[in-house]
Amino acid sequence: MKAFIVDRYGDRSLRAGETPEPEVGDHDLLVEVHATSVNPLDSKIRDGEFKQILPYRLPLILGNDVAGIVVRIGPKVRRFKLGDEVYARPDKDRIGTFAQFISINEGDVALKPKNLSMEEAASIPLVGLTAWQVLVERARLKPEQKVLIHAGSGGVGTIAIQLAKHLGATVATTVGTANVDLAKNLGADIVVDYKRAEFEKVLSDFDVVLNSLGSETLEKSLQVLKPGGKLISISGPPDPAFAKENGLGWIMEQATRALSLGIRKKAKHVGVSYSFLFMRADGEQLAKITSLIESGVIQPVIDQVFPFEATNEALAYIETGRAKGKVIVKVR
């Protein structure tokens, strides 16, 4: 099968090559990939930024989102059948959606929303699960609470705004001037144009902040939280709880303790909590997101669709930081 492969960390271009079809275990589905999407995570993995916490063996097929059709099933699969249209974020240890086929554990898969195309469906899994695990699972966001979602025009932001509104929260977001209308149309109650205002000077008394930006934004976010508030970052730094949950060992636990010490101390000083979230694959949660999509609560936001052979160009485009929502690669 054709695939896009990382041969060596730091190479800016993935290698287009031929590789054997993946093996199918007892509980696995072989999915014929119709569409995938590109994420900042893909670039970070390619560049070796996560090699300490995601120790992949190279060469590696990249890609973290898939929509496609089940073409083979393992003997112990019970929830899916041949011909099912499905979508998924594969487990972090089994990524590889920049390919014509991928083998995925059935527990990580959900039926594709009936009202979405393959390309639209491929935009959802990683960002949808990230938004769900931050807002529902970690923050336990309640009606009438206030949440600040940074980078509201990005992949995670566009879904998180819609989910937070569904949960009954008051939603603020930060975007550039060109994306103010997009954020408002997604349901944001307060839109801060970061080119014209400093969010920490116009927002206050928030219960939750979802951070996906750098350390400067992370620290400024402490200023908008009320005592008891939660600062949840998907861009780091990783904390000891993350290392422990993922079984990374004592050395990595100490390393993450040191990496996150500054922000954890500053958070404690103002009476709020800091935590790092690295989303995980979860087919049951994805099925709940499917229900929200089919009922019209959440709609995908897609910037561009690239052909499979232009996968490297799609990655280069998201690295410009200009994409609104998701960038898709049509594989079949």
* End-to-end alpha carbon distance in the chain: 12
Residue 20 CB neighbours (<10 A): 8
Instruction: Give the architecture (CATH level 2) of 2-124+300-330.
Output: Alpha-Beta Complex (3.90)
Contact 272, 222 (CB under 8 A): yes
Pick the CATH number of 126-276 from 3.20.20.70, 3.40.50.620, 3.40.50.720, 3.30.1360.30: 3.40.50.720
For the chain, give every domain's residue range: 2-124+300-330, 126-276
What 8-state DSSP symbol labels residue 113?
Answer: P
Burial class (CB in 10 A: 0-12, 13-18, 19+), 258: exposed
**pLDDT recorded at residue 286:** 98
**pLDDT recorded at residue 52:** 84
**The token pair that represents 27 in the structure block:** 């509980």
225-233 and 206-211 beta bridge pairing:
parallel
**pLDDT recorded at residue 51:** 87
For the chain, 332 residues long, the average pLDDT of each consecutive 10-residue run is 97 96 98 98 94 90 98 98 98 97 98 98 98 98 98 98 98 98 98 97 98 97 98 95 90 93 97 97 98 98 98 97 96 96
**pLDDT recorded at residue 90:** 98
